[in-house]
Structure 1
């Protein structure tokens, strides 16, 4: 009997690429006023290179996207000669994260989760750093864990184990819904959860992974998929 449904967030409940692009743009607009050398030096590609450099030197930080971003922005500011790079990086992060939480939910997200919440506990399990309250759907979730909270990223089994421990239910009482075959589907399967693959772009299932219990292309298909898995 299914009792808990957990969701990945980025690219499961909203498309993340345009959100990150916009957040970087708004951060660079802020930088033009407060740290113009940074804005002149780094575009999206340059920002990505800073991130990769920080993670190459600090792989232990990879699970914490917020601290990683603050660190690589501070690195870029320092290289641009700003002696107050740490303070500037924190202020820039505030600008970035506000935009990062300004997402456009996939059609049907609110209604589908609200309906499921009538019968199941609802949780969020994400490697990202979205704030569900700022997104505007925090009231729909009973719990929310991200990789920074837990100290590891999906698909590590300890990530999913946190949800099991929090609810007190066994893995066979869970359905995890996510877009990533490795992080979401294989990770949840490894601890015994049932899974639903959210595949809005109709991508082929990758070789080497066990298929999810169900595949959906739109969140309006979620209710029937849950009912089928639950034997209703």
Structure 2
């Protein structure tokens, strides 16, 4: 893999960690780590509205635009706290609520969600994502650990993962330590032998460190550390930089 970053303390720390032999597996966030999520969701919500215009025009008219679709999605979070970790369930029930309020058949929620969900998987990977997946999966077992509902096989990158855990299926979400433990268990290693990589300072980085893992903060925007408490073990600006630090020497 072609390295694109100059040597810096993050790379040196990763080199030391690689040489120590402590890393026996990788856990990896998906949304905003391998692809930008909100452009994807916006496009999927547009697909949903167009489907509703054809099959439930009264509902489509009542929703109007993607901002209203998203507001209803937030409303259902309050109405259905039992679904707080199930993003698919929350989206499906928000569609059902919109249909019911507009006087349309609530059973249309299922095919409408299917249209949204298919479009939600039409992601645009960051330029460094696929090369990084190839690099990492050739060296360690990789586990996807996501609070979202993306299916790595549907996205087309499943071959790079030994296991894939989502909050929707597991019934728990980052930063819950049990979720990180489940990622370690999926590949048969202890948490202290896992390197977790993600973009969210609190959910990914603090969660992983609290669970006993090594943590890398993928900070593409070069933001200041936003959390109270210990800073991440390593901060990188790209997955290129991550792989440069983890490359064999």
User: TM-score higher than 0.5 here?
Assistant: yes
Alignment correspondent of 1:190 = 210
Alignment correspondent of 1:51 = 73
Partner-residue secondary structure (3-state), 1:104: coil
RMSD: 1.4
Question: Which deviations, in whole Å up to 9, do the C-alpha atoms of 1:90-149 show, x marking residues without a partner?
Answer: 111111111100001111211121122121111100000111111110111110000012
TM-aligned CA deviation for residue 227 of structure 1: 5.4
| Distance in structure 2 (CA, Å) of the matches to 1:166 and 1:173 | 13
Alignment correspondent of 1:19 = 40
Aligned counterpart in structure 2 of residue 134 of structure 1, from 129, 150, 154: 154
Alignment correspondent of 1:166 = 186
Alignment correspondent of 1:3 = 24
Question: Which deviations, in whole Å up to 9, do the C-alpha atoms of 1:167-190 show, x marking residues without a partner?
Answer: 221111100000001110011111
| Distance in structure 2 (CA, Å) of the matches to 1:41 and 1:170 | 51
- The within-5 A match list for 1:66-145 is 66-82=88-104, 84-86=105-107, 88-145=108-165
Partner-residue secondary structure (3-state), 2:164: strand
- Shift of the 135–100 alpha-carbon distance from structure 1 to 2, 3 Å rule, reads same
Question: Which deviations, in whole Å up to 9, do the C-alpha atoms of 1:171-213 show, x marking residues without a partner?
Answer: 1110000000111001111110001111112221114042111
| Distance in structure 2 (CA, Å) of the matches to 1:77 and 1:149 | 26
Gaps of 5+ in 1: none
TM-score (norm 2): 0.87
Alignment correspondent of 1:220 = 240
Tell me how many residue pairs correspond in the alignment: 227
Aligned counterpart in structure 1 of residue 169 of structure 2, from 142, 149, 154: 149
| Distance in structure 1 (CA, Å) of the matches to 2:138 and 2:184 | 20
| Distance in structure 1 (CA, Å) of the matches to 2:103 and 2:168 | 30
8 A contact 1:70–1:93 mirrored in 2 = yes
| Distance in structure 1 (CA, Å) of the matches to 2:158 and 2:188 | 21
Gaps of 5+ in 2: 1-21
Alignment correspondent of 2:84 = 62
